[in-house]
């Protein structure tokens, strides 16, 4: 039981490692900061907000630097996660075996994930620092409206398909009951 619990705990933090051994998993940078960054870099969005060509070029350069580092981190995390899985297999089947190497790797992965979060936040800072107050206001309005539209679309799709997200017990979560 303890072995199963430990294994479940370890692998709960990782993507399906076996399925991802051959290919890197989808970038974790596809979060809010990155989504907003992609919206801002869209030519139609730039036109609506009034972003000028010089501003667009500066945004592009700064975003590309951040994106390159995020991609490198994704690869490093993927490699470390595979190492973690290999070490965990050995540690979890041998009672009393030292977990020091495993825990150092878990800590290293956590540090890299923290750096990812900081870089994603940096995307928002780059946008803030490169837009005028009026442009930031217009961008906020457009992004908020798009986010609400997407949320509504997902909810309608879920209703049409009759799907409910399962909670931790496998049952629909309390807010969906």
Residue 34 confidence (pLDDT):
79
- Residue 166 pairs in a beta bridge with 172
Average pLDDT, the chain: 81
The CA distance from 22 to 96, in Å, is 32
Q: Which of 20-29, 111-120, 153-162 has the highest mean pLDDT?
A: 111-120
Q: Kindly state the average pLDDT of the residues 71-79.
A: 96
Query: In the predicted model, is pLDDT for residue 54 greater than 90?
Result: yes
DSSP annotation of 166 reads: B
Instruction: Give the burial class of 77: count Cβ atoms within 10 A of its Cβ; 0-12 exposed, 13-18 middle, 19 or more buried.
Output: buried
Q: Kindly state the average pLDDT of the residues 63-90.
A: 95
Q: Which of 129, 106, 113, 15 is nearest to 70 (CA)?
A: 113
Q: Kindly state the average pLDDT of the residues 46-61.
A: 95
Query: In the predicted model, is pLDDT for residue 22 greater than 90?
Result: no
Residue 169 confidence (pLDDT):
63
Residue 136 confidence (pLDDT):
95
Residue 52 confidence (pLDDT):
94
DSSP annotation of 23 reads: S
pTM of the complete model: 0.67
Tokens representing 32?
Answer: 């809010």
Cβ atoms within 10 Å of 46's Cβ, excluding its own: 19
Query: In the predicted model, is pLDDT for residue 72 greater than 90?
Result: yes
The CA distance from 124 to 59, in Å, is 11
Task: Give the confidence band of 5 by pLDDT, cuts at 50, 70, 90.
Answer: very low
The CA distance from 87 to 17, in Å, is 13
Query: In the predicted model, is pLDDT for residue 24 greater than 80?
Result: no
């Amino acid at each position: 039981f303890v072995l199963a619990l430990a294994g479940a705990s370890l692998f709960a933090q990782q993507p399906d490692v076996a399925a991802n051994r051959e290919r890197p998993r989808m970038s974790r940078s596809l979060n809010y900061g990155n989504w907003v960054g992609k919206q801002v870099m869209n030519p139609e969005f730039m036109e609506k907000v009034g972003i000028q060509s010089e501003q667009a070029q500066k945004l592009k350069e700064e975003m590309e630097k951040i994106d390159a580092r995020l991609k490198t981190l994704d690869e490093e995390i993927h490699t470390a996660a595979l190492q973690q899985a290999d070490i965990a297999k050995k540690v979890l089947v041998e009672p009393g075996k030292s977990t020091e190497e495993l825990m150092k790797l878990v800590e290293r992965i956590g540090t890299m994930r923290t750096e990812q979060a900081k870089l994603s936040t940096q995307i928002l800072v780059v946008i803030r620092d490169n837009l005028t107050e009026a442009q930031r206001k217009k961008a906020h309005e457009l992004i908020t409206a798009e986010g609400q539209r997407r949320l509504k679309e997902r909810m309608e799709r879920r209703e049409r398909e009759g799907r409910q997200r399962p909670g931790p017990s496998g049952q629909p979560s309390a807010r969906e009951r």
